[in-house]
Structures are given as C-alpha cells and as structure tokens.
A and B are shown apart, each in its own frame.
Chain A
Amino acid sequence: MVAAGANPTREKGGSALKRLKNSLKTAGIIGQTSRASLSKKDKKRGNPSEVGKHDRAEKLNLIKGEMNPFEMKVTNTKFEVLGRKVKGAVGKPALTKQVGEDNRKKTLLKEMKNKGKAGGIMDKRFGEENPNLTPEEKMLERFTKEKQKQTRSTSLFNLDDDEENLTHYGQSLANMDDFDEADLELSDSEDRGIIDPNTVSRSHFGGFGEDEEDMKNFDRPKSKAEVMREVIAKSKLHKLERQKEKDENDDVRKDLDDEFEDLRGLLDMAKPTARRPLPSQTSVYGRVEDERKDKELDEAAQKASAPTVEEDEYEDYDKFVRELAFDQRARPSDRTKTEEEIAVEEKEKLEKAEKARKRRMDGLDSEDENTPESGRRSTKGSANKKRKRAPQGDDLDDDFEDQEALQLGHGLTLEDIMNANGEDEDGSEEEGESGSEEEESEEDEGEDGADEDSDIADLKSSDEMDFSEDEMNEIGTNGKIVKQNGKKAKTAAPKKKVVPDNYEVPYTFECPSDHVEFLEILEDIRLEDTHTVVHRICVMHSIKVAAENRRKMEKFFTVIVDHIAHLAATESPMPVKIIGRLDQQLFNLAQQMPQHAASVFIERLTNAQNSYKEQLSVTSQFPDIKTLVILRTLGHVFPTSDFSHPVATPAMLYMTEILAQAEIRSEVDIGRGLFLIQLLHDYQILSKRFIPEVLNFINLSLYLLAPVTTQSKITVAFPLPEYARSQNLHIKETSSASPQPLSASALLTDKLGRDSIKAEQVRISLVVALSKVLEAYMQLYSSTAAFVETFQPCLNVLEAMKSVDNWNEDVKTNLNNAYDRLKRQVKFGTEKRTKQPLRMQYHRPVPIAQYVPKFEEGYSMDRHYDPDQERAQFNKLKAQTAKERKGAIRELRKDNMFMAREKLKNIKEKDARYQKMLTGVMTVLEADQAEKNELEFQKRKEQGKF
C-alpha cells in the first residue's frame, strides 16, 4: 500500500511536506489572500480551491482528503512498455463515487421527485446552480447584474444620472477616485507569487505595532485635491522639457543657416545662367518663364509703389526660396538618340516580341514580361519612371513638377498640346502630298503611308514617351510653338493645294458610332482621303486624351472593320491601297483594345459561319469579298502563328470548313477558295502548320478543271465529293488562251455577271494559279515528316494534268515546273527517311516505381498510422462511438442503481413511518385497554366478588 501510494507521489513531484504547503497555498489558507493577487484565469473560472473561502475548517478537510493515501487506488501494470500511457492507473474510487452520487442527487433525484408532477418554481437567481461560487461572489454578481439592468434601462440622455457626467480628460471622476498609483505598481499578472511589501509588513510575523500610523498614512486614499495637484505638476514638467528641446533645435538651425551662407557662394546662385529651354519643354518652359517674369514685374511694381514694413528680413528668404524653385535642376540628358541606338532599341523590342511569339507558337505561355501587352505595360511603366526621375538628394520638393503642370493653366495639359501638334503637323503633311502630287507613283505613296503611319503607330503604341519627346524635339528645333491647332495649318494648306475646287479635308470630326454615320461623314470626301479622316478621328478621340474615349474608339473600331468590308464590296476596282491603310489603322487601334478587337472579329466570324450554315447565299457557298477581306485583316491584327489563339484558331477553322465542305459550283468558287488558300499560306508562313483541307481543295479544283479526257486518267487519292463527277467545269480548248492574272473583281465580288467571265481563259488562269500555290505549299511543308504521303495525291493529279498535249506554252511550263519540283522533293523526302527511321517512343526509360519503407519519428503505440486517411478517420470514429457507448451504458447502470437505492430508501422510510404510526396507535389502544381492565378490575373488586 505504501509502495502504491508512493507512486503517484513521485509523479506529482516534491516531498509530502512540499505538496501540503503547495496545496495549502493554492487553497488560500496560507500566503496572500487579496483578490487582486489571483490570476485572471482563476477569477474567471471561479477556482474550486476557493470553496468556502472563509471556513478554513472545510478547506483543511478537503486537503486532508486529497492527501490521504488510503483513498487512492492504484492498478499495477504487469509490463512497462516504453512510450505507452495508461489511463486510469491511479484513481480515487470513493471520491468519484461520491461526486457521482452528489451529481445524481442534484439532477436525477430531483427529476425523480418531480416525476408525474406539473408546475413548480424555477430558480433563476444568478449563480444558484453554480456550486463553484461562494455566497459572497454570488451576492456580488447579483448586485452588478442589478446595476447593469438599471443602467441599461436609463437612456443616454438621462440628465438625472449625474454621476457619470462628471469627467476630467474624458474620464469619469468617480473612477479617478480609485486611481491610486502607488498601490498598483505591479500589474495583476506580474505579481503572482510576489507578495507586496505592504502585506508583508502588515501580516507577516504578526505585523509590528509601531508602523501602524505610517501604514495608516500610506494606505489612506488620496484626496481629490492631492491628485489634481500631482497631475498639474506633471504637465508643467513636460512643458518645460519641450521648451528646452525647441531651444536646442533653434540653436542648431541657426548654426546651419550661418554656414549655408558660405555654401551659397559655392553654388553660384547670384547669376543663374540663362538656360536654353530643352526642346521638349519649349512650350511649357516659355509659358512658365513668361508668367514668372510677369509675377516678378508685378512684385517689383508693388514693392516700388508701397514699401511696407512687411518686407523685412524674411523677404530676402522668400525670394531665395522662389529662386530655388525656378532654378535649373540637374540638366536632363535630352539628347536625341543616334540612329544606331534607335535601331538597337527597335531590334531588341522586336527580338523580345519574336521570342514571345515563338513560345506561343509552341503552345507555351509566353513569359509574362515578354507578351506584347505586358511588354507595353512595362515600357509604359518605365516611361512613367523616366518622366518622374528618381528623387535625388538635392531635390527641394517633389511636388514641384506637379506644380509646374498646374501652372500651365488655361485648361491645357501637356497631352493636349502634344496631340494638337501631332494632328496638326500630320494634317499639313497630308495636304502637301495628297494635294500636290496626285499622280505620285504607287510605291512612293505606299512608303509615305507607311511613314506617317509609323508616326501614328508610335503615338498609339507602346512608346508614348519616346514619341512625345521626338515630337517636342522637332517642334523645338523648328523654334516654333504652335499654339492653336486649326488656324495656322488651315491658312497654310490652301497655298500648297493644287486641287482646283479648294478641296480640303476637315480637321475635326465627331467620332461616328456606327457605319452609317461614318458614311455620312465620308460623303464629301474623296476615297483616297478616307484613311486621313480615320486617322484624324483616331487622334482627336485618342484613348489617351480622355478615358471616356475608350468606348467611342471601340465603336469606331467596329466602324472601320465595317468600312473595310464596305469598301471591298462596293468599290471597283478594289481600293487595295486604301484598305491597306485602314488595315494599318486597325492594327494600331487593336493594340489599344485587344479584347474588343477580338470580340469584333469573333462576331464577324460567327456571322460568317451562320450564313454558311444556313446557306443564305444562293449563288455560292463560299464567303463573299467582305468576309475575305475581314479574314485578311484578321491575319494582320492577330498573330496567326500561335499554337492556339482565341481569334486566329476559329478563323482558320472557318476557312478550312469552307474549303472542305462548300460545294464548288463555278469558277468564282474556285477563285474564292484560292484566295482562302493563299490567306492560309500567309497565316502559316511562320509556323508551317499542316492543313489537309488546302491540298484537298487544290486537288479537287484541278480535278474539276481538267479536260474531260484527262479527268478520267487522274488517280483519285483525295476525298472526292459526290457532286464532283457531274460538275461541268472542264477546260474544253486547252490551247486557246494564255493565263492571265486572276481578276479579283470578277472572281471575288458577285457584281459582274457570270457571262462576262471568259470561262475558258479564267479556267486556264486558275490552273496556273493553283499550280503556283501548290508550289508555295510544297515549300512550306518541305520539312514535314510525311511529305511523300501528303503530296502523293498532288503528284498524281499534276502528272495527269501535264500530260495533256496541247497546253498553251505558259501553262505547260508552269505545270512542268511544279511537277518536276514536287518529284524532286518527294525523292529527297524518301531518301531522308531511309536514313532516319521513325523513333517516336524514344525517351528515357522510366524507372520502376519503388516503395521505400516509411520510418516514423517518435513512434507511439497509442497513435494509429493508417496511410489511408479515410479508413483512419472511420476507425477513429468507431473507437469514439464504442467508448461513448460504454460510458453511456455505465452511467445508465449507475443511474438505475441509484434510482433503485432511492426507491428502497423511500419504501423503507414509508415502512418505518407506518410502523411508528402503528406502534403509536397500539400504545394508545393498549393504554386504553389497560385502563379499561383496571377499571373493570376495580369494579369487580368493589362489588366484592373476591
């Protein structure tokens, strides 16, 4: 038993005496007793050791019980297993039994008694049910509750409650009364275990009488007056300190000022060199300078007129500050870049874009900084950075620049001026060209267009900053500042003009929101000037000028797309140059609104697809010129080499669908198909992706065009639709006509009737064109693995076609060329292949999967290491339910036993009561009988019977 008792002792640690001391301390029987010394946790919990704070006897009893080794029950373990924790090895059966019994008495017994009874009184008094609270605490809590209830019921504006209204520094004075710093030097949490000297001196060793008075003094709460005095003293002290600090600072500053005078001489402030304004700042600087001069003049005038007392020692300083403000700062290196530098930059930019494109072509995500749009963003960012040069040590004020911008005044911003200039200048240039040299050679015109458009591109595209600088430079070198946009140019323009009727393109336009409006604008404008108008609208309503222009420009983008289609469909001959320029404008605009551009083109594609699906056009299933031109521009706006592109991919799908499925009914259809094929070639010029439909179409078209006798000779190794055998598009007279360039107006637009096409001629031209395009594709796919198989059908067709005897000489050479070339390529491909067999499964051998045993750090028997998470959780749940079940059964059993006991007790009580009643009655009866007997005996005795 002793050994058993020793075990838990060891676990608790310390000797029995120590433990006793400890428990006494925690019970609050020895050591400090103030409530403040209790930890917050204990307070909250209502620590059970507080039970019966005041009757020591009870507490001591409890401790005695805890310390009694005979109440402990220890179960010996047979084997010690490392790392295993056994629960319930030590227990106090008597105590737990008692606790259970008590709890049942409180709950179950009550219920038993109330069984079958309705009604009763519910005790809702605070803390009545909590056995952990002492009666004092209960009373206290009740009191606070009561108080809270009252305050809650009174409104905020209750003036009667004047206790709360007295404040000082926003704090209630009532609280201040309790404010005794001296007593509370140790915070609540820190003072556990440390007994404050007060207590020690008062209570330890019984306390000493002589200190009684002192203590009284010390302990006495300070009066209000005393507190206020202390507060005032403190604030005075602070004030003094601050003043002292300020004086010191002043001294230092004075010293600095004195020394600065020397420095100033070094800086050579007296004669600031008249700095030539930077070219890029000419306009701004000029104005600022003017204003400053004006101001100075004003000031001087003022000074002269009314010299006041104000102009004292500070006037000097102010002037100096102003000088500093206008002083030239570190001179920015605004030199124009050399051509080499520009070229290098340009090259780098292109290289970057090309790298991104290649990545996209391989189907990878283009690296973030490499994507054009993010690239644009980053360059823009750097541009911004450039504008705001890094802050330097001698920067006086960072706001300075902003201030300058503000001082521009007149509601004009830098951008405004920039834009106005750009537009203006372009306009005048335009005038010069379009006016004077109408019959300029085509190439020149093209170049010009490219030039000026590249300017625009700069304006639109990434390097806004660069552009603005350049522009400013130009203006600066010219030494002129154009103030208002329209007038000067307008006056200048007519001089250069040679056009007789004073024709002139207006400078400003409303931004048209749909195509009809745009057509109205264009009513009085020559066709050649369309792109000028478009350009001016773009500049006028540039997104960079105002944010709300974005919506306008988005609409205008749609308008341009519409107009391109419109031009292609209505003008004859097709104005390729103009459409080309509009195409460039479209390209520029798209750079600013990629999302919108995509959605516009997607919409067009959807329409085209729908009209194909519903067979809206009766004459031809192939797309009309509008769609063809839009597909052309689409290929310019979006990169067609991407592995997958949201716009280019569906566009290609649409084109191939047409090529594969649309029925070829006439030469027009073949012409349009040819156009599509050439477009696809342009699309794939970089990525060289394989398009089966193209070769199928070429084969089929050649098959259809072949003379009747030749057609039957062709080995058909390509898909041949059912209608093909009955279609009559054969070339009848092979030798009649020589091939001509294909007429776009005849083949692509529906306007000219079928009769106007000289059928034979067109057919022969188509054959030549097809063979040429086939050659182009041959070259495009020259490196593909299955070149031989891919072009075998074409070879068959070409062989049959060239074998026709009486071809026109041109046709013959063309077909022969194509055939020979294909033959050579096929041979080359076969040879290449025999050298390199197909090895598609050539990759590193993949190692066999291994399962290394898993070692667990700090393995414990009590934990389960199930790798299957679900199963582990299930098992855990199962164990928990089993445990709970057992516990519940045990509890229920105990409950039953308790109830049986109680019932028995009741019965016994009842029996006892009955017994008692019965004995009582019997006693009375016996007494009566005895009396009666006595009486009778007496009577008989009296009668003298004896």
Chain B
Amino acid sequence: GSRKDQDYKDTIQRIKVLESGLGDKSNLNNLVEIFEIAQGSHGGLTSAAIHALHRVYTTLLLKGELRRLKKEESAKATVSNWLRDNYNSYIKFLCELLRHEEPGLQKPALNILITLLKSESEFQTSLRKKHSFANDFYVRVVDAVLRNPNFSQPLQAELLGKYLNVYDDLRYYFFKNTSHLYCSDIITSALESKDSSEADTPKKKKAKNMSNEKLNMLMQNTFSVLEGIRTMPTAGVEIDEFWTGHPDPEYAAKAKEDPDAFADSSDEEEEVAKEVAGKKGPRKHMLVRLSVHKKALQTCWLAFMKMPLSNDLYKKTLLIMHKRIIPHMTDPRLLMDFLTDSYNAGGATALLALNSLFTLIVDYNLDYPEFYHKLYRLLDANVLHLKYRSRFFRLLDLFLSSSHLPASLIAAFIKRMARLSLTAPPAGSVILIAMIYNLLKRHPSCMALIHRDEITDMETDVFDESNPDPYTCNALNSSLWELQTLAEHYYPNVATLAKIFTEQFTKPSYNLEDFLDHTYGTFLDKELTRKRKKDPALAFEKPTELFPSLVKVGATDEDDETANDNLEDPSAVKWSLWAF
C-alpha cells in the first residue's frame, strides 16, 4: 500500500516537474510523457495529467502556436504541426474519457473540453476580429456526450447545470449540433434498413441489433439532456449569458448603459422597429435573436421525433411537450401530424397527446374533426387504471365544461363513465361520481338518466356500449343503474359519495381537484393513520374454523330462495377448493 502511495506521489511530483519544464520550448517532449501518464490506468494520475496538459495547451493555444501552418518546410511549422497533432490526440483522449465508467473522470474531462472550447473561440475571435464560436470543436464534444454508453447522472447534471442551462450560445449550438447528428443518423439507419431488407444474413442482423442498441442509447441520452434544458429564453433580453463572449460587444455595452430601452420591447418588435427606421444600425447578431434560438430548438426536437422512439421515450416526450416544447417553437403546427398520429394510437399515448393537442387547438387554431368521438373512444376500461388518470380527467372536465354541448353527447359520456365505474378502483370512482354529478347539474335534461317515471317496455338496455359514436349510442334513453351499485361500494367514502344522486341536487358543483389525486396508497394511509377514539367494534360470533367449508349465510328469506334454487350452494364449497 505504502509503496503504491509512494509511487503515486512520485508520479504527481514528476508531472509537476515536467509541466514546469514546459516553460522552455526545448522541453516540448515533456508533453508526450505527461500524455503517457494520463493514459495510464490510475484515475488520480490521469486527472492530474490532463489538468496539467490543459494548462499547457491553453497557453500554447492563446499564443497561436497550435495553428497548422501551410509551409511545411520551416522548422517552426514542423513544431506547430507536431504540437497540433499532439493536441488533437489529447482532445480525442478527453472525448474518450467522457465515456469512462468513472463519473469522477467524466466531469473533469467535460470541464476541460468546454474550457478549451472557450479558449479556441477566443483565439478565433481575436484572429478574425469578429465573434466566432469554435463549433467544429463543439461538434466533437456533443457527439462524444450523446453517443456515450456510460452517460451518468453526474455528467448530465454537470453539463446541464453548469453549461447548457446557463449559457445561451452553448445551448444554441447544442441544439444545432444534435439536429445535425440526427440528420446523419437517420440517413445511416435508413441505409441499414435497406441493407437488411436486401439480405438478412445473421451477421448483418446482429450488426443491425448492435446499431439499434446504439441508436437507442443515443436517443436516451439526447432525451435526458433535452429534457433537462429548462432555461429557454422567452424574450430577447433574456439572452445575455455567453460562454464565448458577447457576440455584439457594443450592443451589450449599450444595453448595460440603458437597460430600459430594450427591456420592454420584444425581439420581433425591435426588429420591425429597426427595419422601419431604415436599417439604422446593423442587424443584430444571430445569437442574440430569440427566433434563432427557438428555431434551433424546434429543428432539434423535430429531428428527434422523427426517430423510431421507444415506447417509454415517446410517452416521456408527450408528457413534457405541451409545457416545455410547444411554447418555445416558432411554428408548433409542425407537430400536428405527430400529435394526431399519437392521438389516434389510443391508450395511454392518446391520453398524453391530448394535452398538447388541446394547446394546439386553442392557441394555434388547429381544426380537429370528430374530436369528441375520439375523446369518447378514449374512455375505455383501462383509462381509470393508468398513471395519467388525473391528467386526463382534468382535461376531460375542461372539454365537457361547455353548457352548449348537446344532451345526447353528454348523456353518452355520463353513461360511459358510469359503466367504467363498475371496474374502477375507488380512487377512480370518486372522480367519476363527482364528474357525473357536475355534468348532471350542468345539463338538467340528462336527469332522466337517474330518474324516470314511465316504464320503458324495451327488453334490454337501449344503450349500445359497442357503438363508438356518442351521438347515436342512445345513452339518453338508458338509466344509470351503475350508480346504485356504486352506493353499495365496499369503500365507505365511495358509497357515501354515490348516495348524493338519491338526494336533492343542492350543491352547485363539486371541485374536481379535490378528487383527482387519490390512489389506493393515499386512501390506505388515511385509513391506517386515522385516530381511533372509541374502541373498535369487535366481532361477536366466535369463529368456528379457520376456513369453514360451509359458511353460514344470514338466514334471510332471499337467501333461502336462492339456496333452494340451486342445489349446490357455491359459498359452501368455496374453501373446499383448497387442500391445506
């Protein structure tokens, strides 16, 4: 142990010596030696070495000694070319480190890369006398990050928290590079699919599987980063943090002097104003314009959505779409096809798409034919057992809140919901009851559903459950017997709530929010932690057997009849099904 420690200390010392020796140009070979140390297996040493190299290369970079010179002959050119090669291999090594299993190395590698990006950009800016962003460098970083098989939580947090969520330029170029990456990837995958259709040799299949895996990983990584970006600007003035220096130094200075002048007007307005003024000043730099950022986000997301998303990613995307994507897009109508397809897919996907679709309909004038038909079809037995139940019912309440909807439609929805309550968990039943109450209250013409004086001579229920059209399923002529059954529900809260239908409808409406967020867990917690003031009631009949093969049934007349009807009493044989 101690020898290893000693070795470690020695090597650290050695790195220091080598680094200090690099002040002199004659010792440039030290770079190679440090690089070799960095490539060793010891994490601590690698970290120390790459930091040392970073310091050295930064100074060299800023001095301009890393430029590849055209003239190959001169000794200076040879040296700088050699340096450039070494520098490139160093960068490559850093990108590889990003994929290292150890997050402790991933983080410093990322930090160094991004800092080098800054130095490169500054160098280029000084060279061209104009703001420039070393995107060719950044492309490599983005690529390395997104194709990372070991994309760890700390790395993601570092990337998002320190860079992408803070600096506008980094975020912009990230979007841009990602969408480029996907364009190329789509092409390759398309090619692959062509290949596989031509000949399905096992080898190729395997290769395809491999690439599929890679693709999945890439998408997973991309989503986790894109999902984490939460600081999209909503106004031009919010774009004020730049990693590689403000692209419009004069503008920035002006803005600093007179912040009020720019604070109020939005980006577009400003532009218009400027154009009207006859192009008084030069057009603002690209990076400062909000529309450019929005566009970048839009293309990036659209590129991402074109990929064959896994079910999980698809749902996650839909989940954040209406809040985090649509508001930042320049033209949300581009999502129409995506959303319509999702909505038509049915099930949980449709539920999730509903939110975004609603945003589009309301804010972007999307015309969706037969919206209620599809909404009606969404109400199937599974809807109450899904995780996104409350989300859906919040929206459903909104859609059905108009009092101008035809009674037949409302009746269909009510009847359908009542039917669903027969297979619903208690948490779902309370939502349905509250909603049915509100609907009945809002549409008194539907009261016939729960109260009918004349005897209908129809043999069976007129309501056609299998009819997908809410207008023609004839729900208005049916009755809600289901609610009576719900009043016998085993959970007292549901039963009590279901009894409101037999009383006067005095309450104006129930606040649906009070009912939406219950689950079995919350109900159980409430019941289990309830304070018991009185002694709990106890059974008074002494148990005879643990599993009585013949269960005594309360000797009411009805039971006797049924028992006579059927020679074999099912409850009697119940426990005899088991062999203990």
Chain A residues close to B by CB (< 8 Å): 350, 353-354, 356-357, 360, 363, 366, 371-373, 446, 450, 453-454, 457, 573-574, 576-577, 579-580, 583-584, 587-588, 590-591, 594-595, 597-599, 602, 605-606, 609, 613, 632-633, 636-640, 642-647, 649-650, 652-654, 656-657, 660-661, 674-675, 678, 681-682, 684-686, 688-693, 695-696, 716-721, 740-745, 769, 772-773, 775-776, 778-780, 782-790, 793, 821, 830, 833-835, 837-843, 846
Given A372-B538, A580-B545; 10 other pairs, CB 8 A cutoff: A609-B524, A639-B539, A656-B520, A685-B553, A773-B570, A779-B571, A782-B562, A789-B481, A790-B485, A841-B501
A838 nearest CB neighbor, chain B only? B479
Contacts of B547 in A (CB 8 A): 576, 580, 632
Residue contact B490 to A690, C-beta cutoff 8 Å = yes
Query: Hey, which chain B residues are within 8 Å of A716, CB to CB?
Result: 381
- Please judge, given known A-B contacts A837-B452, A838-B451, whether A594 and B504 are in contact too, CB under 8 Å: no
Q: Which residue of B lies closest to A636 (CB)?
A: B543
Q: Which residues of A contact B524 (CB under 8 A)?
A: 605, 609, 650, 653-654, 657
What 4 pairs between A and B have smallest CB-CB spacing?
A785-B484, A580-B546, A657-B520, A650-B527
Q: Do A786 and B422 touch across chains, with their CB atoms under 8 A apart?
A: yes
Q: Is the CB of A660 within 8 A of B425?
A: yes
Q: By the criterion CB–CB under 8 Å, are A653 and B571 in contact? A: no
Nearest chain B CB to A722's CB is how many angstroms away?
8
The listed residue (A657, A741, A769, A840) touching B450 by CB distance below 8 A is A840
Q: Are B504 and A835 neighbours in the complex by a CB distance under 8 Å?
A: no
B573 — which chain A residues lie within 8 A by C-beta? Answer: 772
Question: B364 near A: Cβ within 8 Å?
Answer: no
Determine, out of B92-100, B172-180, B456-464, the stretch whose residues face the partner at the interface: B456-464
Taking CB atoms, residues of chain A closer than 8 Å to B453 are 837, 839
Known: A653-B491, A784-B485. A645 touches B520 (CB 8 A): no
* B538 and A637 form a contact (CB under 8 A): yes
What are 27 inter-chain pairs, A to B, with CB distance below 8 A?
A576-B545, A576-B546, A580-B546, A594-B537, A597-B538, A632-B547, A639-B539, A643-B492, A645-B537, A649-B527, A657-B520, A678-B574, A685-B551, A689-B489, A690-B485, A690-B486, A692-B429, A717-B381, A717-B465, A720-B382, A742-B578, A744-B580, A776-B574, A786-B484, A833-B461, A842-B451, A846-B504
Cβ of B424 within 8 Å of any chain A Cβ, yes or no, is yes
CA A453 – CA B545 in complex, angstroms? Answer: 12
Stretch at the interface among B119-127, B251-259, B528-536: B528-536
Given A656-B425, A660-B425, A719-B381, verify A786-B536 contact (CB < 8 Å).
no
Contact A681 B571 (CB under 8 A): yes
Residue ID in chain B nearest A634 by CB atoms: B539
Chain B residues with CB under 8 Å of A775's CB are 570
The CA of A372 and the CA of B540, in the complex, are separated in Å by 7
Question: How far, in whole Å, are A649 and B496 apart by their CA atoms in the complex?
Answer: 14
Contact A790 B492 (CB under 8 A): no
Chain B: number of interface residues, binned into ranges: 35 or more
Q: How far is the CA of A689 from the CA of B490 in the complex (A)?
A: 5
Q: Does B488 contact A (CB under 8 A)?
A: yes
B570 & A772 in contact (Cβ 8 Å cutoff): yes
Complex CA gap A2/B503 in Å reads 76
**Residues of A contacting B491 with CB < 8 Å?**
649, 652-653
Taking each of A780, A783, A841, which has the highest tally of chain B beta carbons within 10 Å of its own beta carbon?
A841
A780 CB contacts on chain B under 8 angstroms: 571
B454 in the interface, Cβ–Cβ < 8 Å? yes
- Is there contact, CB below 8 Å, between B536 and A595? yes
- By the criterion CB–CB under 8 Å, are A741 and B537 in contact? no
Which of the residues B384, B484, B523 comes within 8 Å of A653, measured between beta carbons?
B523
Q: Is the interface of B mostly helix, strand, loop or mixed?
A: loop
- Per the bound structure, the CA–CA distance linking A220 and B577 in Å amounts to 114
Interface pair A584/B542, CB less than 8 Å apart: yes
- Check B9 for interface membership: any CB of A closer than 8 A: no
What are the residues of chain A within 8 A of B481 when measuring CB–CB? 785-786, 788-789, 833, 838
A contact residues around B551 at 8 Å (CB)? 682, 685
A741 CA / B577 CA spacing, docked (Å): 5
Of chain A, the residue at the smallest CB distance from B520 is A657
Shortest B436–chain A CB gap in Å is 12
A87 to B40, CA, bound (A): 109
CB-contacts of B432-466 with A (<8 A): 447, 449-461, 465
Q: How many A-B residue pairs have CB under 8 A?
A: 277
Check: B144 CB closer than 8 A to any chain A CB.
no
With a cutoff of 8 Å between Cβ atoms, the chain B residues found around residue A745 in the complex are 580
- Are the CB atoms of A690 and B480 closer together than 8 Å? no
Whether A681 and B574, one on each chain, are in contact in the complex, defined by CB atoms closer than 8 angstroms, is: yes
A134 to B140 alpha-carbon distance, docked (Å): 111
Per-residue A-contact encoding for B222-253, CB less than 8 Å = 1, 0 else: 00000000000000000000000000000000
Contact B580 A574 (CB under 8 A): yes
With A606-B528, A654-B524: A821-B566 Cβ-Cβ less than 8 Å = yes
User: Are A602 and B461 in contact, with the CB atoms below 8 A?
Assistant: no
Beta-carbon nearest neighbor of A680 in chain B:
B490
CA distance in complex: A661, B426 (Å): 13
* CA distance in complex: A316, B422 (Å): 89
Q: Is B143 an interface residue (CB 8 A)?
A: no
Choose one: B488, B501, B570; the contact of A689 (CB below 8 Å): B488
Contacts of B310 in A (CB 8 A): none
Most buried by A among B521, B523, B574: B574
Question: In whole angstroms, what is the CA distance A657 to B521 when docked?
Answer: 8
Least Cβ–Cβ distance between B492 and chain A, in angstroms: 4
- Residue from A597, A689, A789 whose CB has the most chain B CB atoms within 10 Å: A789
Q: Which chain B residue shows the least CB distance to A841?
A: B451
B482 interface residue, CB < 8 Å from A?
A: yes
Residues of B within 8 A of A580 (CB): 543, 545-547
List residues of chain B with CB within 8 A of the CB of A638. Answer: 536-539
Cα-based distance from A793 to B422 in the complex (angstroms): 10
**CB closest residue in chain B, given A602:** B528
Q: Which residue of B lies closest to A716 (CB)?
A: B381
Residue of A594, A646, A661, A721 ringed by the most chain B CB atoms within 10 A:
A646
A639 pairs with B423, CB closer than 8 A: no
A653–B529 Cα gap in the complex (Å)?
Answer: 14
Q: Are B535 and A830 in contact (CB under 8 A)?
A: no
With a cutoff of 8 Å between Cβ atoms, the chain A residues found around residue B370 in the complex are none
Give min CB distance, A366 to chain B, whole Å: 7
- The reply on B510 being an interface residue by CB < 8 A is no
Residues of chain B contacted by A778 (CB below 8 angstroms)? 570
The reply on B579 being an interface residue by CB < 8 A is yes
Alpha-carbon distance A790/B421, docked complex (angstroms): 10
Q: Which residues of A contact B429 (CB under 8 A)?
A: 692
Please tell me if the beta carbons of A830 and B536 are within 8 angstroms of each other in the complex.
no
Q: Does B372 contact A (CB under 8 A)?
A: no
Contacts of B419 in A (CB 8 A): 789
Most A-side CB within 10 Å, residue of B421, B426, B455, B488: B488
The answer to whether residues A576 and B580 also contact, given A789-B422, A830-B460, A846-B504 and a CB cut-off of 8 A, is yes
Q: CB of B558 within 8 A of chain A?
A: yes
Query: Are the CB atoms of A454 and B542 closer together than 8 Å?
Result: yes
Residue in contact with A363 in the complex, picked from B385, B485, B492, B562, CB distance below 8 Å: B492
Q: How far is it, in angstroms, between the C-alpha of A594 and the C-alpha of B535 when the chains are bound?
A: 6
Q: How far is the CA of A910 from the CA of B459 in the complex (A)?
A: 120
Name the B residues within 8 Å of A675 (CB-CB): 578
Determine if B483 is an interface residue (Cβ-Cβ < 8 Å).
Answer: yes
Across the two chains, which residue of chain A brings its CB closest to B429?
A: A692
Nearest-Cβ distance from residue A569 to partner chain B, whole angstroms? 14
**CA A721 – CA B535 in complex, angstroms?**
40
> When the two chains form the complex, which single residue of A594, A688, A779, A788 contacts B570, counting CB atoms closer than 8 Å?
A779
Contact A652 B535 (CB under 8 A): no
In whole Å, how far is A365's beta carbon from the nearest beta carbon of chain B?
9
In the complex, residue of chain A having the shortest beta-carbon distance to the beta carbon of B385: A719
Cα–Cα, bound, A674→B562 (Å):
24
B546 touching A583, Cβ below 8 Å: yes
Q: Does B511 sit at the interface, judged by CB under 8 A?
A: no
Q: How far is the CB of A616 from chain B (nearest CB, A)?
A: 16
Query: A661, B537: Cβ atoms under 8 Å?
Result: no
Across the interface, A573 reaches (CB within 8 A) one of B421, B489, B537, B580, namely: B580
